[in-house]
Structure 1
């Protein structure tokens, strides 16, 4: 699942994931993402931190509070030392700093999926 308010990025990420053989759901709203995760088995979330309404941080905290067993890769242009520290406290499985290359994204997705499946 892709959760990002940038429509172009959601589209590009979706195309790459589909070429990798994944089924893709995407939304620009954290609340819609949470609702979907509670109804549908989601294997991985690519999550932007800065979104209108409920932020990516807010969604991540809700996911952890509700104990949704979904690995999360944060995809953001706003990754500072403080952000990394806060993300570590909440618990994420991966991180991609925007802008990034498609190959880097593929590597991170495969790394997280392998670690999660073997975990």
Structure 2
């Protein structure tokens, strides 16, 4: 069985590194991107199994990135992260195919569990 690939998309360096390290220790191959352009390049090149995507990213927002990801490969699972209670955006993200979402600050163990659940199904 090949290693599952996860892409972490967040403009906050600290969150990217935290998730990169935690998920790397879980045995996943992890990639990271600070913006939409880089994220989509990685999606096209690496075809990750799961993308952890921040809703608020300068330039291209999470919804826009999500639409592009699903256009490239509708089977890629996406977990959205948001620092704000933007329920309308979360609702839209879910309609566009996001599997679940987390509000920052999130519980790292809950996120790890959600990731492993997404990658089993």
- TM-score of the two chains, using structure 2 as the length reference: 0.87
Does 1:15 find its partner at 2:21?
yes
Change (3 A) 1:91 1:79: farther
Alignment of 1:36-55 (within 5 A): 36-55=42-61
Q: Separation in 2 of the partners of 1:65 and 1:23?
A: 23
Q: Which runs of 4+ in 1 moved over 4 A?
A: none
Distance in 1 between residues matched to 2:70 and 2:29, nearest whole Å: 23
Secondary structure at the counterpart of residue 51 of structure 1: coil
The RMSD of aligned alpha carbons is 1.3
Does the CA contact (< 8 Å) of 2:94 and 2:100 recur in 1?
no
Segments of structure 1 that go 5 or more residues without pairing to the other structure are none
Higher share of residues assigned strand: 2
5+ long unaligned stretches in structure 2? 1-6
Report deviation, 1:68: 4.4
Query: Hey, what's the Cα distance between the residues in 1 that align with 2:89 and 2:60?
Result: 17
Deviations 1:11-48 (A, max 9, x none): 00101001101111101011111111111131110000
Q: Contact between 2:79 and 2:100, CA under 8 Å: does it hold in 1?
A: yes
